A and B are shown apart, each in its own frame.
Chain A
């Protein structure tokens, strides 16, 4: 595996379900990011982790809970989501918190029913 991988690629969940999105980077980076991409809206930065420490929470609702157990893995735990949370969730990584060298994964297409 190379680059940034995300699983699953597609996820359909009900509003009462609990699920997790996984991101793994194989680039030796130490910063990881979650973005939300909704239809007809700009990409929104959700969370930033640098050396496993959360350095940014961009006013994200608590139904989204990130976890970064090490510099290579990033999770986004989902619970009690709303239909408006349906979107493409993109993970990215970079060497340090250098936003201009972010490498993105393919994303998880989430549908909340």
Chain B
């Protein structure tokens, strides 16, 4: 079975602090994709990143960075120098890419509040 666990339900930080959102996944597939989405108060999910299971390179995009470690089945997301606009619910997700029907499996999300 596939499962995505975001153990942190809510995180609150002060602006300019760094914050890491944890994501642990379970899958028996050798090929899969991992994602992070942001859901601001407006409601729509915004795609942040996709990572192929064969690509373990960490990625940095501005203040965002992602640490993918297959050995621990984790795909953590770090926001550096957080800003109030980063306040949102962040979802980690997993999709299988081989055999059967493909589904996007989401974690329960982590609500991040960045206070001024």
A contact residues vs B (CB 8 Å cutoff): 4, 9, 40-43, 45, 56, 58, 88, 90, 92, 97, 99-107, 109
Known interface pairs A97-B102, A99-B103. Does A41 touch B108 (Cβ–Cβ under 8 Å)? Answer: yes
> How far, in Å, is A96 (CB) from chain B's closest CB?
11
CA distance A105 to B35 in the complex (A): 18
CA distance A45 to B2 in the complex (A): 14
Q: What's the A-B contact tally at a CB cutoff of 8 Å?
A: 48
CB pairs A–B below 8 angstroms (6 shown): A42-B108, A43-B106, A99-B102, A100-B35, A100-B50, A104-B44
List chain B residues, Cβ under 8 A from A100: 33, 35, 50, 95, 104
Whether A102 and B104, one on each chain, are in contact in the complex, defined by CB atoms closer than 8 angstroms, is yes
List chain A residues, Cβ under 8 A from B33: 100
Known interface pairs A40-B108, A42-B107, A99-B95. Does A104 touch B102 (Cβ–Cβ under 8 Å)? Answer: no
Whether A102 and B108, one on each chain, are in contact in the complex, defined by CB atoms closer than 8 angstroms, is no
List chain A residues, Cβ under 8 A from B105: 42
B37 (CB) vs chain A CBs: closest residue = A104
List chain B residues, Cβ under 8 A from A101: 47
Chain B interface, >50% SS class: strand
Contact of B104 among A41, A45, A105 (CB under 8 A): A45
Whether B42 and A106, one on each chain, are in contact in the complex, defined by CB atoms closer than 8 angstroms, is yes
Given A4-B44, A100-B35, 17 further pairs, Cβ under 8 A: A9-B43, A41-B108, A42-B91, A42-B105, A45-B103, A45-B104, A56-B103, A88-B43, A90-B43, A92-B45, A99-B95, A99-B102, A99-B103, A99-B104, A100-B50, A100-B104, A104-B45
List chain A residues, Cβ under 8 A from B4: 42
B5 (CB) vs chain A CBs: closest residue = A42
CA distance A97 to B35 in the complex (A): 16
Whether B50 and A56, one on each chain, are in contact in the complex, defined by CB atoms closer than 8 angstroms, is no
List chain A residues, Cβ under 8 A from B91: 42-43
List chain B residues, Cβ under 8 A from A43: 91, 106
A3 (CB) vs chain B CBs: closest residue = B44
B101 close to A (CB within 8 Å): yes
